[in-house]
């Protein structure tokens, strides 16, 4: 079976799931976190090398303050709870997004997990938190300008190409995304990994994220395996 090397997930539907079941929105996010753990474990067992999950968009600051802070608290608890799992299963955690805008306690939890798992060589789990694709491209451009590479004398200025620019993205050193999975019947990228998904295969599921199980995940992987990727060729 042809398997993707890098899977990215846009887990929509936590709030709709909670409303559907007459529960507080926080319970929807909690159930969504459980679903994400199951997906990560299954992809790890399938030897998928990279998984990127979108936990919080820079646009999500527009939401109710209570919901935003509940999401922060839930993520902090999840990270602390799953550090033993990541260390046991050889999973490396990386954060992508605007880190310094997050609460100090959450920054501390993420930093600790990143440090403790930095030498793991199995799956790399990218946590896209306080992230959007356009923000990443802007930050990459700022990094490129700050590096001075664009202002070297003409004789030694490096050629500005995709390879050079990619070094300044949050995902430096990682392959582009092969498969994007989005749930809850939404059919768009919504400013997610705009650079890295240029040639990605897309799988859209009607399932609300807390209901997205291994069977639906396998359907996405099987669909990917049946597709031929040309990258502009024949």
pLDDT tens digits, 175-188: 999 999 999 999 99
Catalytic-role residue among 5, 60, 120, 191: 60
- Percent share of the chain, pLDDT over 70: 94
Average pLDDT over the chain, rounded to whole? Answer: 94
Task: Provide DSSP, 178-219.
Answer: SEEEE-TT--S--SSSTTTTTT-EEEE--S-GGG--HHHHHH
Enumerate domains of the chain plus CATH numbers: 6-132+175-225 (3.40.1180.10)
12 is catalytic: yes
| Per-residue model confidence (pLDDT) at position 89 | 97
Please tell me the distance from the alpha carbon of residue 206 to that of residue 222, in angstroms, as a whole number.
17
Catalytic-role residue among 2, 5, 12, 64: 12
pLDDT, tens digit (0-9, with 9 covering 90-100), for 78-134: 999 999 999 999 999 999 999 999 999 999 999 999 999 999 999 999 999 999 999
pTM for this prediction: 0.93
The H helix count followed by the E strand count for the chain is: 7, 6
Average pLDDT over residues 54-64: 95
Please tell me the distance from the alpha carbon of residue 89 to that of residue 32, in angstroms, as a whole number.
21
């Amino acid at each position: 079976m042809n398997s993707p090397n890098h899977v990215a997930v846009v887990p929509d539907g936590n709030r709709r799931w909670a409303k559907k079941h007459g529960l507080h929105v926080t319970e929807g996010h909690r159930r969504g976190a459980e679903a994400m753990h199951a997906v990560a474990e299954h992809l790890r067992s399938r030897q998928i090398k990279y998984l990127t999950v979108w936990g919080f968009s820079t646009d999500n600051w527009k939401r109710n303050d209570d919901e935003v802070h509940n999401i922060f608290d839930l993520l902090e608890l999840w990270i602390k709870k799953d550090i033993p799992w990541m260390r046991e299963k050889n999973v490396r955690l990386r954060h992508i997004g605007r880190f310094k805008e997050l609460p100090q306690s959450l920054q501390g939890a993420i930093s600790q997990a990143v440090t403790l798992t930095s030498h793991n060589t199995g799956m790399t789990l990218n946590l896209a938190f306080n992230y959007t694709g356009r923000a990443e491209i802007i930050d990459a451009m700022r990094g490129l300008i700050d590096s001075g590479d664009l202002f070297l004398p003409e004789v030694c200025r490096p050629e500005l190409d995709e390879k050079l620019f990619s070094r300044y993205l949050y995902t430096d050193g990682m392959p582009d995304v092969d498969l994007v999975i989005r749930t809850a019947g939404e059919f768009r990228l919504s400013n997610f990994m705009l650079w890295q998904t240029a040639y990605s295969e897309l799988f859209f599921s009607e399932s609300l994220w807390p209901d997205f199980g291994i069977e639906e995940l396998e359907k996405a992987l099987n669909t990917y395996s049946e597709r031929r990727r040309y990258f502009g060729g024949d």
